[in-house]
Structures are given as structure tokens and as C-alpha cells.
Structure 1
Amino acid sequence: MTQFTDEDRERIRKELIEAGHKLFAQFGFDRTRVSDITEEVGIGTSTFYQFFDSKEELYLVVLVSERDQLFEHLEAAVDEMETPQAEAEMILRTTLEQVRSNPLIRRLFVEGEIRRIDEQLNGTNYHDATGTSDGNDTATTSGSDSDSKPDTGVEAKFRVLPQPEAWVARDDVRIDDPDIVRGLLRSLLFVTQARDTPVVLNETYDEVEEVLIDTVVTGLFADESISSGD
């Protein structure tokens, strides 16, 4: 087994994640081989397993990183909104744009890839996660064999936006369950699957998406006016 300095390990791990991000986004999980990733980084295939137990573990790291970046962007943008209506509109617009343009985000939120990979790794439900010895919660280790696995340093727990909790506490919100609100927002993302299909004519898709955003936001809040600060 090749021995690396801590600095080399940090660099190679970062390069593996970057290569995985590039190849998974371009080709998807199934069409990307471990040898493709290691060739991109310039290391042997066997060396890959000093950093990740499997291709699935690397894919989970990439997906969770992509998810967390989106959530951080949304949370920063929400701070600039002046009303709950504007928050909801911004969240929908931003997430829809990301689902359309970013294949990894689409696989996250529309195709449920984190759930699939997590269950494939552990044979457990998505909400199950165990703690590593350093306190990081992760769904890529389980039970007594956790010490023998590389620490991926990724938290795969289900993550949700906190805003619906505040929205439903208001008198002008028509739904009193934040999970229903989140489900409503997530469901709207599936409209992107209709683009470039016979379901929605290409020339009308943008208008359909606009109407859906307006309908959901104005239907959620009793105050029918919405503003994103534009």
C-alpha cells in the first residue's frame, strides 16, 4: 500500500472529488468508472480505495457537497428578501433554475440519488445515519465495521429549508404543516421533467413555469401580492 503524507492525502482526496464531480455530472453514476476517475487524477485504481471504499461513497460525497452549496446559497439569498412571499418565490426560482441547468442537482432533487446511494451503501432507510468517532454524522459508515472504512467526512442526513416553519406560524399562510409546504415546493421541481417532451410544448414551457410559481406562491399566502425585490 502506498503511503502518503497528510498533505498528499488531502490533495489527492480533493482531486478525486473534483474529478468525480466532473465525470458524474457529465456521464452519470453508472457510466463513470473508478478507473475513469483515477485516470483523471493520475493515480492507480487500487489507490482510490485508500480514500473511498467504493464509487458509491465518492458519489455520495459529491452529491452532498452539491446539495450543501445550494442550501448555503439559498439561505444567504433568503436573508435579502423582505417578505415570506419573496422568500418562497426566490427559493422556487433558484431551485428550478438549478434543476434545469445542473445535472447533479437534478439527480438530487428529482431523481432522489442521495436516497438511492445511501440505501445501497447501508441497506437501511434514508433517515438512518450513524456517528463516526470524530463526531461527524455520516450515512456511509455503519455498525462495528466503521473503524475499518475511510472517513468520507460527509453528512448525508436529510436536510430541509427552515423557512416553512416560520411561514406556517403566520396568520396569512393557508397551510399549517411545514412538511406539506416543503412537499409542495419540491413537487413543483418535477415540472422540469416536462421540458422538451410532448407533455408541455417547448415554446410554452417558460410561461408554464412562471404561472406555476405564481400560482403556488399566491395560493400559499393569503396576501396575493408577491415580490422578489426586482
Structure 2
Amino acid sequence: MEDKKADIFNCGKELFSSKGFKDTNVSDITKMAGIAVGTFYKYYSSKEKLFLEIFQNENVMLKQSIMKSVDLNEEPIRLIKKLMSLNISGMNSNPILREWYNRDVFSKIEQEYREDNGVAKFDFVYNIFFELVNQWQAEGKIRKDIDGELIMGFFLSIINIDNHKEEIGLQHFPHIIDYLAEFIMKGLMVE
């Protein structure tokens, strides 16, 4: 049984990576996996559910890779700028994670996630960074008077600005991300 689920997962990942979410359908996945369409629905109630599971898996792997590549004891402003930069480049280079920026696709998937897990549960995107924020607050490196979830909202807004880089101006965009991360961190630092 688990082999079939793994086959569906792996075939879905391959097809979503090569064709994108919108151009992949359940019959494509089942054909590649060598199973009946009905078998797919024994494991996943929809294409969106499969995609979200794949997306979450890819996201966790990216975050783990990022966290292994940085020195968590580095000065907070420099570290957060690195984390933001690595996250954006990692998402842009992964065809599954890049779907985050396709608002037509991801808003539908996000809605399903919220229905299944509740509004407050859509935090897997920054759970590792959230732990870091909590650690910095406990160590007195950043302000404690601002809720950790609000701080994460500041950083999530930087990531979402990527959806508007053409409107902002591509020539300025990388610098804007860098400065916004710096400005946010300077505002959070304990004086």
C-alpha cells in the first residue's frame, strides 16, 4: 500500500516539476504510476492535496538545507538577510516551490490547506525561522515587546513582495529585498 502512495507522490512530483500544477491532471499521474484513477483517490482526495504534500516536503527540505548552510550564531541582521536571500533563491530555483508565486494556483491550494488545518495553521512556510525569532527574543537579541508571529509577518511580507517585482522595478528589486530585511531587523534590535 505504501509503495502505491510513494509512486503517486513521486510521479506527481515529477509531473508537477516538469509540467506545472495547472497542466498536470490526476490521469497523467495515474498513467505514469501505472495505477487506476480510483487508486489515486484512495490516497489523496484531490490533485491539490497531493501537490500540497509535495510542496510541504520540498519546503521542509529547502529550509533544512538553508539552516545547515548558515551560522546561527552570526549577527542577527546579517543572518536574516542571508536566510531571506537563500529562501527566495531556493524557491525560485525549485519548480514545485516556484508555484508559491503563481497566485492563481497557490491561492486555491492555500484555501484547501486552511479548510483542513484552520486559518492559523498556514505557518509551515516559516516554522524554522519562527524558532530562530523565539530564540533571539529569549536571548535578548531582538525586542520582546513584538509578538513573534507579527515579526514573522514582516518577513513573510518581504517574500510576498517577490510577486510584485515587475511593478517595483526589476533593476531595484534585489536591493529592495536586502534593505527591507535590514530595516526590519534594525527595528527589532534591542538598543
Report the TM-score, using the length of structure 1 for normalisation.
0.64
Which aligned pairs between 1:93-172 and structure 2 lie closer than 5 A? 93-108=85-100, 111=106, 115-119=110-114, 122=116, 125-127=118-120, 158-159=123-124, 160-161=127-128, 162-172=131-141
- How large is the Cα RMSD of the aligned pairs? 3.0
Alignment of 1:19-58 (within 5 A): 19-58=11-50
Q: Is the 8 A contact 1:74 1:91 kept in 2?
A: yes
Q: Distance in 2 between matches of 1:200 and 1:127?
A: 30
What is the match of residue 17 of structure 1? Answer: 9
Map 1:84-95 to 2 at 5 A: 84-95=76-87
What displacement does 1:37 show?
A: 0.8
Aligned to 1:200: 168
- The answer for the alignment partner of 1:215 in structure 2 is 183
What is the identity, as a one-letter code, of the residue corresponding to 2:118? N
Is the contact made by 2:17 and 2:95 (CA closer than 8 Å) also made in structure 1? yes
Answer whether contact 1:127 1:158 (CA < 8 A) is retained.
yes
Q: Distance in 2 between matches of 1:210 and 1:83?
A: 15
Point out where structure 2 has 5 or more consecutive residues left out of the alignment. none
Q: Which residue of 2 aligns with 1:178?
A: 148
Q: Distance in 2 between matches of 1:170 and 1:44?
A: 54
> Which structure's residues are more often helix, by fraction?
2
Deviation at 1:186, TM superposition (A): 0.8
Instruction: Identify the match of residue 190 of structure 1 among 146, 160, 174.
Output: 160
User: Residue 185 and residue 158 in structure 1: after superposition, are their counterparts in 2 closer, same or farther (change >3 A)?
Assistant: closer
Q: Which amino acid aligns with 1:221?
A: M
**Cα separation, 2, equivalents of 1:202 and 1:158:** 28
Match of 1:90, as an amino acid? Answer: K
Deviation at 1:191, TM superposition (A): 2.0
* Structure-2 residue corresponding to 1:150: none
Q: Which runs of 4+ in 1 moved over 6 A?
A: none
Distance 1:61 1:213, change over 3 A: same
Structure of greater Rg: 1
Question: Deviations along 1:116-146, whole A, 9 cap, x unmatched?
Answer: 22245x4x62457xxxxxxxxxxxxxxxxxx
Identity, % of aligned positions: 23
TM-score normalized with structure 2 length: 0.75
Aligned partners of 2:185, 2:150: CA distance in 1, in Å?
14
